[in-house]
């Protein structure tokens, strides 16, 4: 290297790189901006769509219940049928509007005595909003409906799903019902285990105290050690 030749510094190397690759860097930057803009537009449109869907679902609910106290059973049945027809466009949607639509449809079906249909709607609500606070509510309702349908295994499984959610406000109730179903099936050891878990985790809850009494009674009856 000649004596007077200046060695390139780190900053000059970076400047040269930027100059040589300016077009490519600008292209990448433009692409990133386009992607970000597209995401913002999508999020905005999605939020607007959800808001419109929720408003429509609320309108369906209002039409179903407004002044319903004075209606005959036939008139109520007509309203339920109309509501389910109107909800058909929303129960298959994702997100919060899909959850809301399925919960309302489940309630309508259950009130009409169509418990299998109600279970299907609650399952859809739970699957659509797995991480939502509504999921354990759906599981609890599914379990209750399965009890009515004399499907103990299915009832127990769904009570357990509800009880396993630590944020569920009726967690203790679900846990007790899980143990109760097992006890009713003659699965005494499993029932005691479920009751004991409830008592350990939520000792001050009324259902935990009930669980403790069931453990004592089962032991007194010689059904478990």
The pLDDT value given to residue 106: 96
> Can you read off the two tokens belonging to residue 86?
């109107």
The pLDDT value given to residue 19: 55
Q: How far apart are CA 98 and CA 193, in angstroms?
A: 37
pLDDT tier at 17 (50, 70, 90 boundaries)? low
Q: Give the range among 10-14, 32-36, 189-193, 217-221 with minimum mean pLDDT.
A: 32-36
- Angle at the Cα of 11 (from 5 to 13), degrees rounded to 5? 65
With a pLDDT cut of 70, the percent of the chain lying above it is: 79
Reported pTM: 0.77
- Angle at the Cα of 70 (from 69 to 75), degrees rounded to 5? 95
Annotated domain spans of the chain: 133-225
DSSP-based three-state secondary structure for 8: coil
| Mean pLDDT on 63-68 | 94
* 158-185 burial: b if 16+ Cβ within 10 Å, else e: bbbbbbebeebebbbbbbbbbbbbbbee
Homologous superfamily in CATH for domain 133-225: Tetratricopeptide repeat domain (1.25.40.10)
Which tens digit of pLDDT belongs to each residue from 138-189?
Answer: 999 999 999 999 999 999 999 999 999 999 999 999 999 999 999 999 999 9
pLDDT tier at 47 (50, 70, 90 boundaries)? low
The pLDDT value given to residue 85: 97
The answer on pLDDT for 207 being more than 70 is yes
The pLDDT value given to residue 35: 41
Which tens digit of pLDDT belongs to each residue from 89-135?
Answer: 999 999 999 999 999 999 999 999 999 999 999 999 999 999 899 99
Closest CA to 160 of 188, 140, 186: 140
pLDDT tier at 48 (50, 70, 90 boundaries)? confident
Q: How far apart are CA 160 and CA 181, in angstroms?
A: 10
| Mean pLDDT on 9-20 | 56
């Amino acid at each position: 290297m000649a004596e007077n030749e200046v060695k390139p510094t780190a900053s000059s190397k970076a400047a040269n790189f930027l100059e040589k690759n300016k077009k490519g860097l600008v292209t990448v930057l433009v692409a990133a901006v386009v992607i970000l803009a597209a995401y913002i537009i999508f999020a905005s449109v999605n939020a607007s769509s959800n808001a419109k869907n929720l408003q429509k679902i609320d309108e369906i609910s209002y039409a179903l219940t407004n002044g319903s106290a004075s209606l005959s059973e036939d008139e109520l049945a007509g309203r339920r049928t109309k509501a389910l027809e109107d909800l058909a466009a929303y129960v298959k949607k994702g997100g919060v509007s899909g959850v809301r639509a399925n919960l309302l449809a489940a309630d309508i079906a259950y009130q009409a005595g169509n418990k299998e249909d109600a279970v299907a709607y609650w399952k859809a609500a739970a699957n659509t909003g797995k991480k939502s606070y509504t999921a354990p509510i759906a599981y609890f309702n599914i379990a209750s409906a399965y009890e009515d349908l004399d499907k103990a295994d299915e009832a127990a499984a769904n009570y357990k799903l509800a009880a396993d959610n630590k944020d569920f406000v009726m967690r203790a109730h679900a846990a007790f019902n899980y143990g109760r179903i097992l006890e009713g099936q003659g699965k005494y050891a499993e029932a005691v285990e479920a009751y004991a878990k409830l008592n350990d985790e939520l000792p001050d809850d009324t259902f935990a105290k009930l669980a403790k009494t069931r453990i004592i009674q089962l032991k007194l009856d010689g059904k478990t050690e």
